[in-house]
Structures are given as structure tokens and as C-alpha cells.
Amino acid sequence: MDHLTLPSATVRSGRLRFTDPDGAARALALGAFSLAVPDGLDVTPGLDFCRSFHLPSRGPEDRRRGHREHGHPRSKLGYEDRPDQVEQLQLESFLWDDYLPADVAALLRRMKDLTLDTLHGVFDAAGVPEHDRDLVTGGARQDTGLCYTTVNHYRSDLTGRAGIVEHSDSGFITVICTDQPGYEILHEGRWLPVHQPPGHFTVNLGDAFRVLTVKTPRPVTAVYHRVPELHPEPPATDRSSFTVYMGPRYDMMLYQYDTDGVLLPYQGFRDFSVEKAKDLGYAFHSRIEAAHR
Ligand SMILES: O=C(O)CCC(=O)C(=O)O
Ligand SMILES: [Fe+2]
């Protein structure tokens, strides 16, 4: 089967740079690219946490395990047993220190800084002016937008279902770290496995970016992606991945440039997300939908 190699980029001194001259344009058109893991950033605590969060708790102080039962009362997201192979823990960044092991929270904070630098680099590439970015992101730079992690465990003992069903991410950007292949994107009508080079994250661009730029000269694709049913051969273990996501808050509007480049409100992000979940035939986060009624 064909593989797709994504354009690659690096963040140095806070600035996103693509390796090839056409890298930025390809990344916007694909809605995805590879991003080098910065020197000295150890992703092991995150991957280890993917392998433990779902196991039974060993006591009230145990943050590495017990997240299936935890409840996460301060989160609007929390644990979800999806109909796919994947089970997910999703936590907003302001809860990382309270709910996660210290080494995992520290890693996620560094990835969050990297995600923010990367987001601004993509805004540059897409021609989104600096002075509009606080409005459209709800203040990502001031930490008043929505940032959360998703921790994914692909349960290979579950059969007859996708790893994660095909979808686009809803926000601006998602940075993904994984330990094995499986990520695929829909490219020119075909599902292609993506070659993820060692030492790289994969970056997805999402619906908020697509809506914002669809009528501009450099429209951004919200990449359609999935993980198929996986049954890794021993000694390989269940696939792990974790992500840092940034998007609008659910109480915000999505924005769109019109053909004259004027920025206009498009639709409330919560309504957009609920409609999208219905179209895709999956349940939206019950705590966020409930806040809406
Ligand atoms: O595990 C992956 O590679 C992708 C995960 C994903 O698409 C997500 O968490 O939204
Ligand atoms: Fe995704």
C-alpha cells in the first residue's frame, strides 16, 4: 500500500520553519505535517501514561491509574469509553496539575508551548493577521482559549471496530505523539497510511481553521483522519497516542473571512460541534451539550 510522507517542520526559538520551500503550502493543503520533537523533550512519561491511565487505581494518591472510574468532576471532558477500539481521557490544561502525574503535566506544558508557537507559524503561513488572532482563538496566547490533552489507548482485544473512526478535529490545531503506525489520512479520495518519521509529532489542522480560511487565497484543510482496527503482533503492545489540542471555547463564535478579507462571525462553536457530532453519528460530550440546554 502507498504511504504518504508529510511535509516536515521544526520550531526553533519559537518560530516554525518548514524543511522544504513548498512545505508550508503543502501543509495547509493537506491539513497535516510532521513536527520535530524539540531537543531534550522526553515523551516517555506521556506514552507510559497512555498505558496506565485505564488500569485500576492503587489508591487515592494514584494519578497514573484509575482514570476510568475517576469521574473528573472539574472537567467538561473526562474519560470516554468510545464505541471504537480507543478509550480516551480528555482534560483541559488548567486541570493537568490537579489530575495528572507531575511528569506528564510538565511534558504537556512544554508541548502546549510548542503547539502555540506552531499555531502562530501556521497563522503566518495562512495569512491570518496578527491582530485577529486573539479574537478568533479566544486568546490562545493569554491562555483564555480552549486547550486540552487527549490520551488514547487502542484496545487491541476489541474486534470488529475501527481504532478511531474517521473524523476531522474541531479546533485549530492538534499535536499528536504516538508509539506506532496506524494514523491514516484521506488524500485525494484515498485512505493512505502516513509515514511518521521517528522523533516527530504529527500536527493536524482542524475545522476552526478551515471555516476561518475557506474563502481566502490560502484555505486550510481540516484533515480527515482515522486509525483502522489494530491488532499489533506480540511483543508489540496496544497502540498509544496522546495529543495537545487548541481551539475556540465552546461559548465562542467561529469566525470566517469573506472574499474581501473582512472577518465575520460564522456560528457558535458549541452549536457547530453538536451539529458535526450528529452528522458523524457519534455522541458529543454530554457535559458540554447539557450546558447548552
Ligand atoms: O492516535 C492517533 O494517531 C490519532 C488520534 C486522534 O485522531 C485524536 O485523538 O483526535
Ligand atoms: Fe483526531
CATH of the domain at 159: 2.60.120.330
Q: What is the ipTM of this complex?
A: 0.99
- Full-model pTM: 0.96
Does residue 1 have a pLDDT over 70?
A: no
The distance in angstroms from the start CA to the end CA of the chain is 47
Beta-carbon neighbour count of residue 222 at 10 Å? Answer: 22
Work out the mean pLDDT of the chain and round it to a whole number.
95
pLDDT digits (tens, 9 = 90+) for 122-158: 999 999 999 999 999 999 999 999 999 999 999 999 9
Q: Render 186-228 in DSSP notation, one character per residue.
A: EETTEEEEEE--TTEEEEEE-HHHHHHHTTSSSPPP---EEE-
* Over residues 72-87, mean pLDDT: 96
Does residue 47 have a pLDDT over 90?
A: yes
Name every residue whose Cβ is closer than 8 Å to that of residue 8 and which is 6 or more positions away in sequence. Answer: 18, 19, 20, 23, 33, 34, 35, 36, 197, 200
Cα of 131 to ligand 1 centre, how many Å? 31
pLDDT class for 290, splitting at 50, 70, 90? low
As for ligand 1, residues whose beta carbon falls within 6 Å of it are: 150, 152, 164, 169, 176, 178, 183, 225, 227, 241, 243
Element (H, E) at 48: helix 44-50
Please tell me whether residue 290 adopts helix, strand or coil conformation. Answer: helix
| Total structural domains within the chain | 1
Dist. CA 229–CA 240, nearest whole Å: 13
Q: Provide the grid cell at 59.
A: 489508591
Cα of 224 to ligand 2 centre, how many Å? 8
Dist. CA 18–CA 26, nearest whole Å: 10
Whole domain around residue 116: which residue ranges? 4-291
**What pairs with residue 257 in β-bridges?**
263
DSSP 8-state class, residue 66: -
219, 222, 242 from 10: Cα distances, Å: 22, 21, 19
